[in-house]
Amino acid sequence: MYLKTIAARIAMSAATVSGAVVALAATAVPALAADWTVGANIGNVPWEFQDASGKFVGFEIDLVNEVAKRAGKTVEIENIPFNGLFPAVQSGRIQMAVSSITITPKRLESLAFAQPYYDSDQSLSVLKTSKIDKLEDLSGKTVGVDTASTGDIYATENTARLKIARITRYEGLAPAMLDLAAGRIDGYISDIPAVEYYIKDKPQYRIAARIPTNERYSFMYAKNFPDAAKVNDILSALKKEGFVSATHKKWFGSVPPDTSSSVKVMDVPKL
């Protein structure tokens, strides 16, 4: 009986050690990384944001997921502040970036874009009770912008002309609009589609001026991104099939005009 007890204990110890080795081996195996890590400034409605369940959704989330599916690639969305998207792409930490990123000559000097898929302008939004009705009314006022955005560029370049007293920079639309509501800024310059979507159920805000900047958005990646041609070809197919147009209607409530970059197949932007 004594010998049987010892044998049983030895067997149990062996099983425990074996189980621990298996568990250690399981934890030692790293999770497979996605083919594409895509940076997005989550909170940029309706381009990329979280729904009630915490899932990332939006116009560009739908678009990048469809492109990845057709390319046979797995994709992971990483939440990165807008200003951080540029160094993240350049360093190779992420493969692509989305966040209603405007294609500009300056950005094309160091980065690359797929063909555009959305046309836009900037806007000046204010409180409904504000006496600001045009850009010239910003004299002596504090203006909010998103850091490193085209709204930031516009406000900075026109500070002297419009006699703007101060520019306050934010990492997203929501905190800027909250400060606007609290009176900490007098106006907010940002992409008009995002503002229109945000204020549609918030009557305390209004758009005082549309700022024609003729901007176009697209996927941004490094100049040596190996899947650039594939992404662009898939975008062409999605436009021809009406997928981009249908996604536009889903998130913005309207069908884009036939002349827009959401419908027309366009060239890859170059300097």
> Tokens for 5?
């007890």
Delineate the domains of the chain, giving CATH numbers in brackets.
Answer: 36-117+218-252 (3.40.190.10), 120-215 (3.40.190.10)
**Three state DSSP letters for 115-154:** CCCEEEEEEEEEECCCCCCCHHHHCCCEEEEECCCHHHHH
**Whole-number pLDDT of residue 31:** 53
Counting as low any pLDDT under 70, the low residues of the chain are 1-31
Cβ contacts of 244-248, under 8 Å, gap ≥ 24: 244/63, 244/117, 247/59, 247/62, 247/63, 248/59, 248/118
pTM of the model: 0.81
CB 249 within 8 A of CB 243: no
How far apart are alpha carbons 61 and 228 in whole angstroms? 18
**Whole-number pLDDT of residue 32:** 72
> How large is the greatest C-alpha to C-alpha distance in the chain, in angstroms?
98
| 212 φ, ψ (degrees, to nearest 5) | -65, 110
What b/e readout covers 91-128, taking b as 16+ CB neighbours within 10 angstroms? eeebbbbbbbbbbeeebeeebbbbbbbbbbebbbbbbe
The conformational region for residue 58 under phi > 0 = left, psi -120 to 50 = alpha, else beta, is left
